[in-house]
Each structure stands twice: as C-alpha cells, then as structure tokens.
Amino acid sequence: MPLVSLRQLLDEAAKKNYGVGAFNVNDMEQIQAIMEAADETKSPVIIQASRGARSYAQDNYLYHLMLAANELYPHIPLVMHQDHGNSFETCVSAIKLGFTSVMMDGSLKADGKTPTSFEENVDVTRRVVEYAHERGVSVEGEIGVLGGIEDGHGAGGTGLEHVTDPDQAVEFAERTGVDALALAIGTSHGAYKFSKKPDGSVLKMDLLIEIHKRLPHTHLVMHGSSSVPKELQDIVNQYGGKLKETWGVPVEEIQLGIKNGVRKINVDTDNRLAITGAIRKVFAETPEKFDPRDYLKPAREAMKKVVAERMVQFGQAGHAGDYQPIPISEMAKKYAVGELVTK
Ligand SMILES: [Zn+2]
C-alpha cells in the first residue's frame, strides 16, 4: 500500500463520522508504538513530524523509518504529515522528501512565534496549496493562533488570546483551498494547558460547531489535544518526576468535536508522559540495569497503550480495511480537474 494522502484519509473518516489521531514522532520506538497500536485496533493512521523532529531524527532516517512502517504493515493506510510547517520552503522540503501531507502554519511568521496578519496567512498558505496540490499532497492550514509553545514553536499564552473568528475561517478556507483547517478554540501545546478541568465553554466548542456549520466540507483539526491523564502524571511523579498538576482536553470534548466536523486530532504530550513514566519506573525500581532495551521496550509499550486507547476513543479503530489507497499521483489529477474542491 502506498503512503496515502491526508485528504483521502479524512474524506473517508468524514463519510463514517469518526476522527483520526495524529501522533508525533521523533524516533523508531515511537513509530513502532503507533504502528503496533494501529495493527491491533485495525486503524488508519497519521504520523506527523515537526520541524524539531526532522532535525532531531534527520530527514533520511525519518523517511526510511516511515517506509519501513509502511512495508511492515501494508494493510494500514498511513499518512506522513509535516506538523507546523513555518514557511513555504519547509513545506516544499517535506514534499520533496516524500511527505504526503503538510501543515502550513501561516498563523505565525517564519520565526514560529510572531502572529501574522490575515492577509499574510492567506498568501503563504495559498502558495503552499498550489505547490502541494499539483503534486497530490494535502495541506492543513491554521486560522487563529494556538496557545503554548512546543519544540520552540508557538505564540505562548493560554490559547484564548487569538481564538478563530468564524467569518475569517470561512474566507480563509475559500481563498486558500486547504484540505483541513486547524482552529484556535482555547487549546494550547505542551503539558500545561488548563489549571482546572476545562468544560465546553472554556474550550469554545460553540465556535467550532458554528464553523463546521458554515464549512461543512472542510475537515477541522484540533491541536494540543492531549488529555494529560492524571494516571500518567502520577507515574512520572511517583518515580521522581516533578510535574505540576495540570489538565488537558477531556476526551468527551474531543468526541463532541468529532460529531461536529473534527477529523484530525493532534496528540503528543500524552505519549511523552507515557514514555517518560515507563522509563522512570525502570530506573527507580531496577537501578542496576543499563541495557537501553530494558527501558525503551516498556516505554514503547506504554506509548502503544495510550495510542490504542485514543484510536478507539476517536472512532478510527476498525476502519483500516475500508478503502483502497489512492496514489498521490492520482490525487494530483483529481485536484487538477477540480474534483476535490471544498467550497
Ligand atoms: Zn499543533
């Protein structure tokens, strides 16, 4: 099975009203954890790499690890997605490497910190869409500015400073032709999202529902959507970690989003916590061990458990075999004849 495009994967998810987790990776063990979870739950998957991940793992290692995943699990539809591309050039380099989907985060300037104007965002995103669609690659844009900082990328803040304006979301989707659209509805990147359990009003779910009504054919994306479960925080802290108490996005709010057009849900922090907790436990309980496999194996297993749980909660479980992948070259033809217009 060739790597599939985000567009096809999310179109299929929309037909059956489920969401698909997009999990971040930096290394082999994380890719293995996701693929094992996908295999076990029979889920289509999105694996994504940030700019930080690409520089940490190096493009060639990362790309060939993804190809290995695809070879080992030919029955799993697999999207390779660039998370938070900061410029036209970053997106082009991802596409040249073989990514089947890119996010152009034009909500921030290329420094990854300073919010842009609406026109700047439209301009850079539209250029990426033109380049990507000619090659059959999907594009996710962002309107509004998310809170927090991760991998040095982000405007900081709580995520409520620049929530998405519905009129702008509609104009942005129409003028850029993006396949998927990330919204700022009060979520933020990193582990410290909320100082108490957030409800639907804190998360501006009403805004998301309104935008979905006005843009029913644009797949919506929730970023910063780790749930930061207390059990995972507790394991880290029980074995010597020092996490402050924090709350993430409750799974039931994500499920409400999925009922209202959310098709891609980005999760990273939960996996980081699972890995770190598992490694700390081995270090604390058996300090005599020094073979990296003694702690990387349980770390991989802990991440797999979280990913498999999310796959079931988001509804993607059981859908891996629903459709045949469309090669990227065929997707390019579909874009060219206007078959995939979302307006
Ligand atoms: Zn994000």
Gap from CA of 274 to ligand 1 centroid (Å):
19
Angle formed by the axes of helices 166-176 and 118-134, nearest 10° = 40
Q: For residue range 239-295, what is the model confidence (pLDDT) as tens digits?
A: 999 999 999 999 999 999 999 999 999 999 999 999 999 999 999 999 999 999 999
- Name the average pLDDT for the chain: 95
Q: Choose, from 83, 105, 179, 270, the residue flagged as catalytic.
A: 83
Please tell me the distance between residue 13's alpha carbon and the centre of ligand 1 in angstroms.
Answer: 20
Average pLDDT score over residue span 71-90: 97
Angstrom distance (rounded) from CA 115 to CA 112: 8
| pLDDT (0 to 100) of residue 132 | 98
Active site residue 83: yes
For residue range 108-151, what is the model confidence (pLDDT) as tens digits?
999 999 999 999 999 999 999 999 999 999 999 999 988 888 77
Span from the CA of 84 to the centroid of ligand 1 (angstroms): 6
Cα of 227 from ligand 1 centre, angstroms:
14
Q: Is the pTM for the entire model greater than 0.85? A: yes
Angle at which helices 166-176 and 205-214 pack, to 10 degrees? 40
Compute the distance from residue 232 Cα to the ligand 1 centre, in Å: 21
b (16+ CB within 10 A) / e for 38-60: bbebbbbbbbbbbbbbbeebebe
